[in-house]
């Protein structure tokens, strides 16, 4: 580590400790040449995840949009918030584990629908009606039939 005071490349670590609940390591160092002390922080490099929208726009991933969408679909349903938080965590983990830098909003929507179908059928239909933009009652009935077919 280069000394910020004299530019020497060698230093020794005097103390290390975790910070930010284990997300980073703080190191107290001393330069081998000028003996001045300085602090460095070591963090993992998170790959930024971009979402490609239907119209081609790109925007940074925002997990709160997944959570809020599921929360809205589950409104007035007997579903604990912790279950939705866990589902959001699982979706985010799956997206980040692909190591892709860009993910389509379609892929995220399908993952949300998959989770909601397992959590609550009414919430699934609510989300699907907005996500798939049902134009008429026939498309709604078709989605219900597909849900019933998957269930059996």
| 149 pLDDT higher than 90 | no
- Which has the higher per-residue pLDDT, 66 or 143? 66
d(CA 114, CA 112): 5
Element (H, E) at 26: strand 24-31
> Do 59 and 49 meet the contact criterion of CB atoms below 8 Å apart?
no
23 in Cβ contact with 43 (< 8 Å): yes
Each residue's pLDDT tens digit, 19-70: 877 878 999 999 999 999 999 999 877 778 999 999 999 999 999 999 999 9
Judge whether residue 8 has pLDDT over 90.
yes
The pLDDT, as a whole number, for residue 60 is 95
Sort 31 into a burial class: Cβ within 10 Å, 0-12 / 13-18 / 19+. buried
pTM summary value:
0.66
- Partners of residue 104 on adjacent β-strands: 52
CA-closest candidate to residue 2, choices 20, 42, 29, 27: 29
- Alpha carbon distances (Å) from 57 to 69, 91, 95: 20, 21, 19
């Amino acid at each position: 580590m280069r000394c910020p005071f004299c530019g020497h490349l060698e230093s020794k670590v005097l103390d290390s400790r975790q910070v930010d609940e284990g997300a980073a390591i703080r190191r107290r160092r001393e330069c081998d040449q000028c003996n001045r002390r300085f602090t460095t922080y070591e963090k993992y490099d998170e790959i930024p995840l971009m979402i490609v929208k239907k119209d081609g726009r790109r925007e940074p991933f925002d997990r709160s949009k997944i959570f809020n969408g599921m929360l809205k679909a589950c409104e007035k349903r007997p579903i604990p918030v912790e279950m939705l938080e866990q589902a959001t965590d699982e979706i985010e983990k799956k997206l980040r584990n692909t190591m892709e830098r860009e993910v389509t909003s379609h892929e995220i929507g399908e993952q949300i629908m998959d989770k909601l179908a397992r959590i609550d059928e009414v919430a699934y239909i609510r989300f699907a009606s907005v996500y798939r933009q049902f134009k008429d009652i026939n498309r709604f009935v078709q989605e219900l039939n597909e849900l019933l077919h998957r269930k059996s």
